[in-house]
Amino acid sequence: MQALARTAGNRTRAAALLGMSRDQIRYRIEKYGLERVASDDDEPTQPTLTTGRERCAS
């Protein structure tokens, strides 16, 4: 969601920020129902779009 907010909803630019293709980000947006672009006023309870490269903290 942060990448989409930073790019004003531009999926191609958001995908580039996350290191994925436009099709990959489109799939994840649809899969997780992330159509709405977060604004600065949104509460931090919004889901975060991840690339799958994050490390587990355990």
pLDDT in tens, 14-58: 999 999 999 999 999 999 988 764 455 555 445 555 555 555 554
Question: pLDDT: is 11 or 58 the higher one?
Answer: 11
Where does residue 52 rank: exposed (0-12), middle (13-18), buried (19+ CB within 10 A)? exposed
pLDDT at res. 34: 83
Where does residue 12 rank: exposed (0-12), middle (13-18), buried (19+ CB within 10 A)? exposed
pLDDT at res. 56: 52
pLDDT at res. 19: 96
**56: three-class secondary structure by DSSP:** coil
pLDDT at res. 44: 46
**45: three-class secondary structure by DSSP:** coil
> Model's pTM, two decimal places?
0.57
